[in-house]
Amino acid sequence: MINAFDSFIQKLKPQLISWRRELHQQPELGFLEYQTTYKIGKELEKLGFSIHIGKDAVKSKSRYGVPPKHELQRAETQALDNGVPQEWMDLMKGGHTGLAATWDTKKEGPHLAFRFDIDALPILEASDSDHQPYADKFSSKLEGLMHACGHDGHASIGLGLAHLTAHFKEQLSGKFTFLFQPAEEGGRGAKAMTDLGWLEDVDQFYSGHIGINSLPVGTIAAVTKGFLASSKLNVTFSGQSSHAGMKPEDGRNALLAAATTATQLHAIPRHSEGVSRVNVGKLVAGAGRNIIADSGYLEIETRGESKPINSFMQQEAKRIIQSSASMYDVSVDIEFVGETETITCDDSLIPMIQEHCQHSSWINHIHPVANVSGSEDASFMMNAVQAHGGQATYMLFGTHLPSNHHSPAFDFDEEVLPVALAAYAHVLRGGNTQ
Ligand SMILES: [Zn+2]
C-alpha cells in the first residue's frame, strides 16, 4: 500500500496545487468562510462522505469573536452571488462556517480524526514580481484579505486526504472524521467544533502546519513542543467628548486611557516559571484634533507557556486595563474573543509516524520533535481526545519560507502539499492497522 499511496499522491499533485490556488484567490476571514466551506463540502459529498455543516458542525455559543452582523451579511450576499446554494446558506448563515465530514468503513477499527483550518487574514497581499502568487497570477482577488498562513494549503491537503480515503476505502477499516475548521486565527473556531462532541470517541487525532519553522521540503516533524496558551481580548473605553480648547475639563479622555493601557501592558513583569507574551496589535481612538476623545479601542493578546502563566498575564492585563480606565474616569468593556490551550503531543505516536512515513518516497527526513512558539486552537481538540485516553499530535511540514507567517509576502513551496498529504496518508495507514 506504501507505493500505491505514493503514486496516487503523484497523480493528485496537480489537483492539490490547483485547489490551493483557487482557495488562495478567494480568502475568507474566520466565520465568513462560506465559499470555502461550500467548495470543500461539494467535493466531499461527491466522494461519498457524510457532510455536517452549520450548527451540526460548530456549536453556536462556543464560537469566539463572531464578526458583526453587517460583515456577516456582506459575506453572505457575496457567497450567494458567487454560487453558494441557498440551502447551504440557510444552514451556515450567521457565521456557522466550517464542516465536519465522516467516513465509516463499517469494518472494525480505530476512529481517526484529521483537522484542517481554512481561514485567511486581513492582510493586503504583496504585489512584487518575486512574490510567486502575484507572478503566477493567483494572488488574492479580494483587496485586504489574504491567505498569509498557509491555510489554503491545509484545506487543499485535507481534500487530497479525503480523495485518498475514498479511493482506498476497500483496504481501510474503522472510522474517519475530517474537520475543516473555521476561524483558527485568533483561537476562535476549534472550541466550537470540540464542544459539539466531534472528538468524543476519537482514538487518534492528527493536525499540523505547513512552514512555521523554515525546513527543507521533504522534512516533517512527528510532534511539536512549545505551543503557548493564549487569550485574546477586545477592549473598549468610553469617555466624554468635549471642546479641547474651551472646555477640556469637561471631557473624559478615552484615548489616554487606551494609550496608557498599551504602554503599561508591556510593563507586566515576566514570569519566573516560563515563557510569556503580551501584545497590543491594534489601537483606534478619538474623532479629531480639537475634540477630547470619547472612544478608545484595543485588540490585545496574552500568551503563556502554561495555563497558569497565561492566566497570570491575563489577570495582570485586566488589572492594568481597569486601572487605566479609573485613572481617566472612563468606563471600559472587556470582551473575551478567543483562546488557545497548551498542547502536549503524545510522544508515543513518534515511532508509529517514523515507521510508516519513512518508506514514503515523498518524505526524506523525519524530525521526532520540532520546537515552535506560536499558539494553536487545535489544542482544544487534542486535549478533548487525550482526556478520554486517545492520542493526538500536531505535525510540521517543512517548506522554505520567503517571508514570515502573517506578512504580505508570505508564501510556501507548493511541493510541500504532496509531502504533507503523504505524511497524513501514511499515518492514516499506520493508525488504521494498529
Ligand atoms: Zn496558521
Ligand 1 centroid distance, CA of 233 (Å): 19
Ligand 1 centroid distance, CA of 109 (Å): 31
| Beta-sheet pairing, 276-285 with 295-304 | antiparallel
Ligand 1 centroid distance, CA of 406 (Å): 8
Specify the CATH architecture of the domain 229-340: 2-Layer Sandwich (3.30)
At 237-277, the pLDDT tens digits run 999 999 999 999 999 999 999 999 999 999 999 999 999 99
For 278-289, what is the mean pLDDT? 96
Q: So where are the chain's domains?
A: 2-227+343-432, 229-340
Ligand 1 centroid distance, CA of 405 (Å): 8
Considering the entire predicted model, what is its pTM?
0.91
Q: What's the pLDDT at 433?
A: 64
At 371-413, the pLDDT tens digits run 998 889 999 999 999 999 999 999 999 999 999 999 999 999 9
123, 267, 373 from 314: Cα distances, Å: 27, 13, 18
Cα within 13 Å of Cα(244), Cβ side? 10
CA nearest to 375, candidates 271, 305, 282: 305
Amino acid at 342: T
Ligand 1 centroid distance, CA of 255 (Å): 32
Ligand 1 centroid distance, CA of 94 (Å): 24
Ligand 1 centroid distance, CA of 230 (Å): 15
Burial class (CB in 10 A: 0-12, 13-18, 19+), 97: buried
Ligand 1 centroid distance, CA of 245 (Å): 48
Ligand 1 centroid distance, CA of 133 (Å): 18
Ligand 1 centroid distance, CA of 115 (Å): 12
Ligand 1 centroid distance, CA of 306 (Å): 20
Confirm if 320 and 265 have CB atoms less than 8 A apart.
yes
Fold agreement (2-227+343-432, 229-340): no
Q: What is the mean pLDDT of the chain?
A: 96
Q: What's the pLDDT at 296?
A: 98
pLDDT band at 211 (very low <50, low <70, confident <90, very high): very high
Cα within 13 Å of Cα(152), Cβ side? 31
First to last CA, the chain: 15
Ligand 1 centroid distance, CA of 287 (Å): 35
213: which 3 cell numbers? 519553522
Confirm if 377 and 30 have CB atoms less than 8 A apart.
no
**pLDDT over threshold 60, residue 434:** no
CA distance 172 to 370: 30
At 150-189, the pLDDT tens digits run 999 999 999 999 999 999 999 999 999 999 999 999 999 9
Could you give the 3-state DSSP secondary structure of residue 97? coil
For 9-25, what is the mean pLDDT? 98
Which CATH number is associated with domain 2-227+343-432? 3.40.630.10
Ligand 1 centroid distance, CA of 400 (Å): 15
Ligand 1 centroid distance, CA of 182 (Å): 12
Ligand 1 centroid distance, CA of 315 (Å): 27
Ligand 1 centroid distance, CA of 211 (Å): 9
Ligand 1 centroid distance, CA of 158 (Å): 15
CA nearest to 203, candidates 411, 15, 386: 386
Q: What's the pLDDT at 432?
A: 74
Ligand 1 centroid distance, CA of 328 (Å): 38
Q: What's the pLDDT at 214?
A: 84
pLDDT band at 107 (very low <50, low <70, confident <90, very high): very high
Ligand 1 centroid distance, CA of 117 (Å): 8
